[in-house]
Structure 1
Amino acid sequence: MMTWTELTHDWANGFARAKTRFPELDERDMPFLKLDRARFEAYLADRHNLTIEEAREEFADFLYVEGLNREYED
């Protein structure tokens, strides 16, 4: 599973992949959101009309799939 730290380490690539999964993300909001996972998940919930728990689950699923993709690419 990919971690939040790994995702934010290469934010340009990570954001592009997240935007594919979560199309309502707005790049202009990201500079401050990428610093705090809980804040990002709350933003994700708000932008995608999810509960905070749904947003956490969806984001955890995204990180899991990204981790699998990374293993496959290596």
Structure 2
Amino acid sequence: MNWHELSANWDHTVGKLQTWFPALDRSRLADPPRDSRALTRHIADMHELTVEEARDALQDFMHREDLARRATELASQ
């Protein structure tokens, strides 16, 4: 999953993000952040993480979502 995929379906994605990052402020995330750095900073601030830790956690989330999407696609073939 890349930033375009994450932000294109924001209403769906933000719910999944909140499962991984429960302290996210949904009111500040009504619209997708302008880029992944802004979301990374928000995750870091809300979860008492460094920016590097938040970036790694967001990348893990995006990778897991990509794997889940691929598994679903394979299962439907």
TM-score, normalised on structure 1? 0.91
Which structure 1 residue ranges, 5 or more long, are not aligned?
none
Q: Tell whether the 8 Å contact from 1:44 to 1:55 is kept in structure 2 after alignment.
A: yes
Quote how far apart the aligned CAs of 1:26 are.
1.5
Larger Rg: 2
Report % sequence identity: 34
Q: Which amino acid aligns with 1:17?
A: K
Q: How many residues align?
A: 73
TM-score relative to the length of structure 2:
0.88
How far the C-alpha of 1:31 sits from its partner, in A, is 3.6
Does the residue aligned with 2:23 lie in a helix, a strand or coil? Answer: coil
Structure with larger RCO (C-alpha < 8 A, sep 6+) = 1
Aligned to 2:34: 35
Alpha-carbon distance in structure 1 between the residues aligned to 2:31 and 2:39:
9
